[in-house]
Structure 1
Amino acid sequence: MGREHVWSRPARPRRPVRTGLVLGAFGLGMCLIGVAGLGVWNVQVVMQANGPVRKTADAFLREVATGDTDQAYEKLCRQARSRWSVVGFGSWVRTPPQVTGYEITDVSVATKGGRPRGTVRVRVTRDGGASEERMLPVVQEDGKWRVCGDPF
């Protein structure tokens, strides 16, 4: 009777703070790797689009400068072709002062409304040696890049 019974609870395994910190650092590291991977992927998409946009603009401007307006017309987007007929486009391009040369100075690609769009900055040289800087809009249509807008 006179004994006091001391109550004790069973020992719980201790979870050290260090384990929590390690797991937290691991989770944070995985998130950072994911964000970096997504950033690299976005840069690659944009950089890969620069090449086709430049190539499309270069071919279009080369054909305009050499007077091959039928081939240049084929590189126009639907919207631009709806405003011009083949003959009308050819007449417009041949109107003096004609384009005799060009230099692509910058290419940029961005996404607007979920659709990629390119802008090509070009220095156009005309008859008589006068030059001017123009922006050439390029859009993706049916899997191909096309010039869209009035570049001249």
Structure 2
Amino acid sequence: MSRTAKTILLIVIGVVVVCCGGGIAGFFFLVNSSTKAPKAAAGDFLTSLEAGNTQAAYKLLCGQAQKNYGPETFDAYVKKNQPTAHDMSFGGSYSNTNGTETASISATVTYKSGKSSHTFEMRKEGGAWKVCGDPY
């Protein structure tokens, strides 16, 4: 292979690597930016639970979750095993299907009994992100 051909091949490989790297970085940027708000809402939910403010946490539940757990039931359930800390280092996933925005946010939640992984199913309702599915 001639020296010119080697140079061209190296340039093409370099361009491919830069393009692929940019595409991967762009994908992670989009995922992180689209999960920023639902991640913050899940964090607010957990922070309220950790502070013992179950009323504030209850307001962060979506309508369906509030139907499944009345305020008193939710309060009693939380008080049995109240979280003490959380970590949400992974961004999660986002979906918009026919205008319904949802996200899944992964967290490690610390309780007195130890740590547990939990995925928060989030739904945008009335312009705000709410915790749906199994909230706890």
Within the alignment, does 1:65 sit opposite 2:74 as a pair? no
Q: Could you tell me whether the CA contact under 8 Å between 1:105 and 1:122 is conserved in 2?
A: yes
TM-score, length-scaled by structure 2: 0.71
Please list every run of 5 or more consecutive structure 2 residues that lacks an aligned counterpart in the other structure.
1-26
* Secondary structure, counterpart of 2:88 in structure 1: strand
- Aligned equivalent of 2:94: 109
Q: Compute the RMSD of aligned alpha carbons.
A: 2.1
User: Which structure would you say has the larger RCO, counting Cα contacts within 8 Å and 6 or more residues apart?
Assistant: 2
Tell me by how many angstroms 1:48 deviates: 3.9
Q: Which moved more, 1:82-91 or 1:43-52?
A: 43-52
Following superposition, the deviation at residue 55 of structure 1 comes to: 1.0
Aligned with 1:150: secondary structure? Answer: coil
- The percentage of aligned residue pairs carrying the same residue is 26
The 8 Å contact of residues 108 and 116 in structure 2, kept in 1 or not, is answered as: yes
Unmatched runs of 5 consecutive residues or more in structure 1: 1-41
- What residue number does 1:23 align with? none
**Whose Rg is larger?**
1
Where do 1:2-151 residues align within 5 Å? 47-95=32-80, 97-106=81-90, 107-128=92-113, 130-151=114-135
Distance 1:111 1:43, change over 3 A: farther
Deviation per CA, 1:128-149: give whole Å up to 9, x if none: 4x10111000001111110002
SS at match of 2:46: helix
- The TM-score normalised by the length of structure 1 is 0.64
